[in-house]
Chain A
Amino acid sequence: MSWVTIIWSMVASACLTLAAVNLLVWCKKRTEWANLLFSLTAVGTAGMAYCELWMMQAGTPAQFGTALRWLHVPAWALLVALVGFVGLYLRAGRPWLAWSFVGLRTLSLLLDFLVGQNLNYREITRLRHIPFFGESVSVAEGVANPCMLVGQLSLLLLVLFVADATVTVWRRGDRRQALTVGGSIVFFTLAGTVQAVLVLWEMVHWPMTTSFFYLGIVVAMGYDLSRETLRAAQLSEDLQESEERMTLAAEAAGFGVWMWSIARNHIWGSEQWLGLFGFAPDAIVTFENVMQRIHPEDREQVERAVRRALEDRVDYAGEYRVVLPDNTQRWVTARGRVYPDTQGKPIRMMGATTDITAGKQAEEKAQRQHEELAHLSRVTTVSELSGSLAHELNQPLAIILTNAQAAQRLLAQQPPDLAEAREILADIVSEDQRAGEVIRRLRSLLKHGETSLQPLAVNGIVEEVLQLSRNNLIGHGITVHRTLAPNLPQVQGDHIQLQQVLLNLIINASDAMSANPPAGRQLTVVTARRDGAVRISVSDTGCGLPPDAGRIFEPFYTTKKHGLGLGLPICRSIIAAHKGRLLAEASERAGGSPGATFHLELPPAAEGKL
């Protein structure tokens, strides 16, 4: 084995190895066109090395000519790929220069096969054997082909194109890349061209070794590409590290993190996330697997939120119940974000999920306690009204009795007054219904009930409450004035709780006026629209607010002898649960007693269905 064969084979195999590696890179990631072009450049260089070896070992001029003719094929591929690489990888260079080069080089390749023995020789007359690396290699002698100038002109264009691109990259500030890629291409192309010109015009007796120069280019390009690859690898390592750190932080904060690759429908979840849904620690789950674990009543809502996030590219947020395989339930809250690809199609969704069961339970407990307390306060309110309510029931009963006895007398007359008796019976029926209505209302007030919000007419509630407390007010010698605005929007509320609050305010008002002379006991109830809210105002002419009026909504603060101090705090919390406000205000009244006004403001129920 000769040194020449060894060296040229090594050049070729080095180039082929680099080509194979980069071809693989491109196969994995089809968008990395620079790797494919690099691979083509390397293959071209290997082809050139092979043709050069063929030339050096040619036995006849004809063989040499054929080898030289075929050399231009890999050279064409190499050079065209090189131009493409520069344009794509360095993102520089003038397209017209590139296309002119490709045109000229293709023309020279055509000439190579059409004119003379090859592009360089019209005819090779004889071979000369010269010593090279301790052995004898073939060098041609013959008539030069003037078409060769086309090839050399194309190389000049290549150098111009690359040099121009290099200047652009340099100016862009990427000096290292300009030097390693641009600089080396210019240098080695020029050097290779000069060597080729010297050999071909037979100014030196030396075999063609252009592939060596192109090897330099391939090495420089490969170096730069691998730097990029290394940098990407480092970046991905950093990324993974930061991802791990983030996961760690999220898990420490009680969040399970997850990433859903939408196309593959594969959800990666941190250990905590998998545990939250009762999956095995290394399970690979799909969207459907997760949906299976969501409480059937919550599934649709979650699905809707996810679909909305994907379609409208908004953040996803949800709160739902998870049912584990052993049938235990937990509440979780999840947030996620959609990541689209370059075309804007969602490819990934990432987010965090956390267990809020404890909070939910506390919330439910607080809600139950709140309802319990509200009920208790209602019972107290009703018991304060008991006299009035007894009267409210007594009244229809008294009317029924008197009517019935009057009827007995009318029927005993001769002739009996049947017409009047008929009317009496009708009255008895309606009074009985009235008594039944009082009992129904009372029962609903005393009922243990869950809060149920529904659209309500405010004026109706005011009338009902005034009816319930009518006798209490008359008994206290209170005159009631009402100004109820027509066409008020409905409010979203719990009927019984709103009645309770109003009853409380009315009882407070009547208590506040008990020390007044009868003429000074005036209760005013006004409903109105105010700043978009529906407002019910209850005003009295009583003793007014205490000096520390700010405290009247505090629990256990009371100005009444037998008060618990829970009425107003409960009222305020009920109204807060209705997203409304309860305010106290000292009435401005010239002369007369000070008095107080309580404003109850509720947001109107949304138009249409809620």
Chain B
Amino acid sequence: MSATHGTVFLLDDELGMLKALTRLLTAEGFTVRAFTSAGTFLESYRAEERSCLVLDVAMPKLSGLDLQQRLTHAGVLLPIVFLTGHGDIPMSVQAIKAGAVDFLTKPVNDADLLRAVRAAMQRSAEQRERASETAKLRERLASLTPREREVMDHVVAGQLNKQIASDLGTGEHTIKVHRARVMQKMGVESLADLVRLAERLGLGNH
């Protein structure tokens, strides 16, 4: 059951709060890992399938917003639900802009919190999915020979076969064969699909 609900990382310097939140989230079937400081959290964090972070903004040493920044820079995909003692609009704007799922004010109603946590889990699942798709595409991209890769770049840039052949100093027919192999290896049917795929992999603009 916990596998389906996901793991909630809890971070609050107040032990009482930590305990209460753990009880609520556990009762709702989430796996909870609680930490009282950002330091211990960072040390023991391991990526999980479906997970999110419920984070108290006001923490000594490393604040919630600082931690969010740190995680983003490290490329950690972990949706964050912020909790704060006092609702501070500029702070919440900053958090949301930086990708937070929600910004809740304590005392927080259980329904609001659970809704936000479920939304975060949803986002986590999506992120995972998208990440695994991208990883598959990268694998395909890696399976292209250097020549095929060259041809693909020109195709995506919108050049005709003839132009590509003259650029690469080879026959138009050879280009055609390469192009068909690229389409097949990357698993697309049309040129439009290939261009979208290249964009997703960040190849589009040189």
Binding site for B on A (CB under 8 A): 387, 390-391, 394-403, 405-407, 409-410, 413, 417, 420, 424, 427, 431, 471, 474-475, 477, 479, 518
Residues of B near A401 (CB, < 8 A) are 107-109
Query: Is A405 a contact partner of B24 (Cβ separation < 8 A)?
Result: yes
Docked pose: A16 CA to B205 CA in angstroms? 151
- Given A395-B85, A402-B108, A410-B23, list of 9 further CB < 8 A pairs? A390-B86, A391-B86, A394-B107, A399-B17, A402-B107, A405-B24, A405-B109, A406-B27, A474-B60
- Residue from A403, A406, A479 whose CB has the most chain B CB atoms within 10 Å: A406
Cβ contacts B51-86/A at 8 Å (1 or 0 each): 000000011110100100000000000000000011
B72 to chain A, nearest CB (A): 18
Could you list 22 A-B pairs, sorted by A, with CB under 8 Å? A387-B86, A391-B58, A391-B85, A395-B16, A395-B106, A398-B85, A398-B106, A399-B16, A402-B108, A403-B23, A405-B24, A405-B110, A406-B20, A409-B28, A424-B23, A427-B19, A431-B16, A474-B59, A474-B60, A479-B60, A479-B61, A518-B63
Query: Is A398 a contact partner of B27 (Cβ separation < 8 A)?
Result: no
Docked pose: A471 CA to B56 CA in angstroms? 13
Contact of B23 among A396, A400, A420 (CB under 8 A): A420
Query: Is A471 a contact partner of B85 (Cβ separation < 8 A)?
Result: yes
Contact of B108 among A387, A398, A420, A424 (CB under 8 A): A398
Residues of B near A391 (CB, < 8 A) are 58, 85-86
Residues of B near A406 (CB, < 8 A) are 20, 23-24, 27, 110
Docked pose: A420 CA to B22 CA in angstroms? 12
Residues of B near A410 (CB, < 8 A) are 23, 27
> B14 at interface (Cβ–Cβ under 8 A)?
yes
- CB closest chain-A residue, reference B17: A399
Residues of A near B109 (CB, < 8 A) are 401, 405
- CB closest chain-B residue, reference A519: B61
A516 to chain B, nearest CB (A): 15
Query: Is A409 a contact partner of B107 (Cβ separation < 8 A)?
Result: no
Residues of B near A397 (CB, < 8 A) are 107
> Could you tell me which residues of chain B, from 1 to 55, have a CB within 8 Å of some CB in chain A?
14, 16-17, 19-21, 23-24, 27-28
B interface size (C-beta, 8 A): 24
Given contacts A399-B16, A402-B20, A406-B27, A394 and B108 within 8 Å (CB-CB): no
Residues of A near B28 (CB, < 8 A) are 409
Residues of A near B61 (CB, < 8 A) are 479
Query: Is A402 a contact partner of B21 (Cβ separation < 8 A)?
Result: yes
Residues of B near A413 (CB, < 8 A) are 27
A509 to chain B, nearest CB (A): 16
Residues of A near B86 (CB, < 8 A) are 387, 390-391, 394
Residues of A near B14 (CB, < 8 A) are 395, 399
Residues of B near A518 (CB, < 8 A) are 63, 66
Contact of A409 among B16, B21, B24, B63 (CB under 8 A): B24
Query: Is A396 a contact partner of B24 (Cβ separation < 8 A)?
Result: no
B19 to chain A, nearest CB (A): 7
Please provide the 5 A-B residue pairs with the shortest distance between their CB atoms, ordered closest to farther: A398-B106, A398-B107, A402-B20, A406-B23, A405-B110
Residues of A near B17 (CB, < 8 A) are 395, 398-399, 402
Residues of A near B107 (CB, < 8 A) are 394, 397-398, 400-402
Docked pose: A405 CA to B24 CA in angstroms? 7
Docked pose: A391 CA to B21 CA in angstroms? 18
Which label, helix, strand, loop or mixed, suits the secondary structure of the B interface?
A: loop
Binding site for A on B (CB under 8 A): 14, 16-17, 19-21, 23-24, 27-28, 58-61, 63, 66, 85-86, 106-110, 113
B26 to chain A, nearest CB (A): 8
Query: Is B16 a contact partner of A427 (Cβ separation < 8 A)?
Result: yes
Docked pose: A107 CA to B61 CA in angstroms? 118
- CB closest chain-A residue, reference B14: A395
Docked pose: A400 CA to B19 CA in angstroms? 11
Docked pose: A406 CA to B19 CA in angstroms? 10
Residues of A near B110 (CB, < 8 A) are 402, 405-406, 409
Docked pose: A409 CA to B21 CA in angstroms? 12
B2 to chain A, nearest CB (A): 16
Contact of B58 among A402, A431, A471 (CB under 8 A): A471
B34 to chain A, nearest CB (A): 13
- CB closest chain-B residue, reference A430: B16
- CB closest chain-B residue, reference A477: B63
A284 to chain B, nearest CB (A): 77
Docked pose: A474 CA to B86 CA in angstroms? 13
Docked pose: A474 CA to B23 CA in angstroms? 26
- CB closest chain-A residue, reference B27: A409
Docked pose: A396 CA to B66 CA in angstroms? 25
Residues of B near A427 (CB, < 8 A) are 16, 19-20
Residues of A near B66 (CB, < 8 A) are 518
Docked pose: A117 CA to B27 CA in angstroms? 147
Docked pose: A401 CA to B106 CA in angstroms? 9
- Residue from A402, A407, A413, A431 whose CB has the most chain B CB atoms within 10 Å: A402
Residues of A near B106 (CB, < 8 A) are 394-395, 398
Residues of B near A395 (CB, < 8 A) are 14, 16-17, 85, 106
Docked pose: A608 CA to B89 CA in angstroms? 56
Docked pose: A479 CA to B61 CA in angstroms? 7
- CB closest chain-A residue, reference B83: A398
Docked pose: A101 CA to B28 CA in angstroms? 131
Docked pose: A407 CA to B66 CA in angstroms? 33
Query: Is B23 a contact partner of A399 (Cβ separation < 8 A)?
Result: no
Docked pose: A420 CA to B86 CA in angstroms? 29
- Residue from B21, B23, B110 whose CB has the most chain A CB atoms within 10 Å: B23
- CB closest chain-A residue, reference B62: A518
Docked pose: A409 CA to B107 CA in angstroms? 17
Docked pose: A417 CA to B21 CA in angstroms? 16
- CB closest chain-B residue, reference A424: B23
- CB closest chain-A residue, reference B23: A406
Residues of B near A420 (CB, < 8 A) are 23
Given contacts A394-B107, A395-B106, A409-B28, A475 and B20 within 8 Å (CB-CB): no
Docked pose: A402 CA to B16 CA in angstroms? 10
Docked pose: A455 CA to B148 CA in angstroms? 88
Query: Is A403 a contact partner of B20 (Cβ separation < 8 A)?
Result: yes
Docked pose: A395 CA to B63 CA in angstroms? 17
Residues of B near A387 (CB, < 8 A) are 86
Docked pose: A396 CA to B14 CA in angstroms? 10
Residues of A near B63 (CB, < 8 A) are 477, 518
A260 to chain B, nearest CB (A): 70
Docked pose: A475 CA to B86 CA in angstroms? 11
Residues of B near A402 (CB, < 8 A) are 17, 20-21, 23-24, 107-108, 110, 113
A149 to chain B, nearest CB (A): 123
B94 to chain A, nearest CB (A): 15
Docked pose: A397 CA to B108 CA in angstroms? 10
Docked pose: A87 CA to B66 CA in angstroms? 109
Docked pose: A32 CA to B61 CA in angstroms? 95
Docked pose: A477 CA to B20 CA in angstroms? 25
Docked pose: A395 CA to B15 CA in angstroms? 11
Docked pose: A406 CA to B63 CA in angstroms? 27
- CB closest chain-B residue, reference A470: B60
B142 to chain A, nearest CB (A): 43
Residues of A near B113 (CB, < 8 A) are 402
- CB closest chain-B residue, reference A392: B85
Docked pose: A431 CA to B20 CA in angstroms? 11
